[in-house]
Amino acid sequence: MFAYDDKRRLFLNSANMLIPNIQGYSIKTVLAFLNSPIFQHIYAKKFNEVKILKGALAQIPFPKLGKRINDSIDFMVKEMLATRNLKHLQAIDDTIFAVFGLSGKEIKYIKKEIA
């Protein structure tokens, strides 16, 4: 689970900080990808680790995004953070699945695997 903190109030004894800089991605878009079912699935299959390791995290592929897709995901994340409405989460996940070009069958498999 990755969180977004723009108020400098997220500190726990076991919290790790991540300040991503991925070309073509806003921080909120990176947040969406890191929390997406597909990234959870990729991490689990590739590394078979419960603990998230920095080196392993750096190996997960971020697809190239156009400005329109980045802006759309960024907007949805902002809406979700502002409203706390989980309907935005489904729209974000659907958009990320579309970025990877996954079929309904593949999406169902991924969701089943990470459940």
Which of 9-13, 59-63, 92-96 is predicted with the least confidence, judged by mean pLDDT?
9-13
Please check whether residue 56 lies inside any domain of the structure.
yes
What are the pLDDT digits (tens) for 30-58?
999 999 999 989 888 888 777 777 778 78
Please check whether residue 93 lies inside any domain of the structure.
yes
Please check whether residue 10 lies inside any domain of the structure.
no
What percent of the chain clears pLDDT 70, i.e. is strictly above it?
83
What percent of the chain clears pLDDT 90, i.e. is strictly above it?
49
Range of the structural domain that residue 57 is part of: 27-114
Neighbour count for residue 28 (Cβ, 10 Å)? 19
What are the pLDDT digits (tens) for 74-88?
999 999 989 988 889
Burial of 33 (0-12, 13-18, 19+ CB in 10 A): buried
Please check whether residue 17 lies inside any domain of the structure.
no
Please check whether residue 70 lies inside any domain of the structure.
yes
Confidence of residue 21 (pLDDT cuts 50, 70, 90): confident
The Cα 102–Cα 96 span in angstroms is 9
The Cα 110–Cα 36 span in angstroms is 11
Neighbour count for residue 56 (Cβ, 10 Å)? 13
Please check whether residue 71 lies inside any domain of the structure.
yes
Instruction: Of 59, 78, 67, 57, give the one whose Cα is nearest residue 23.
Output: 67
Please check whether residue 53 lies inside any domain of the structure.
yes
Please check whether residue 89 lies inside any domain of the structure.
yes
Burial of 29 (0-12, 13-18, 19+ CB in 10 A): buried
For the chain, the domain total comes to: 1
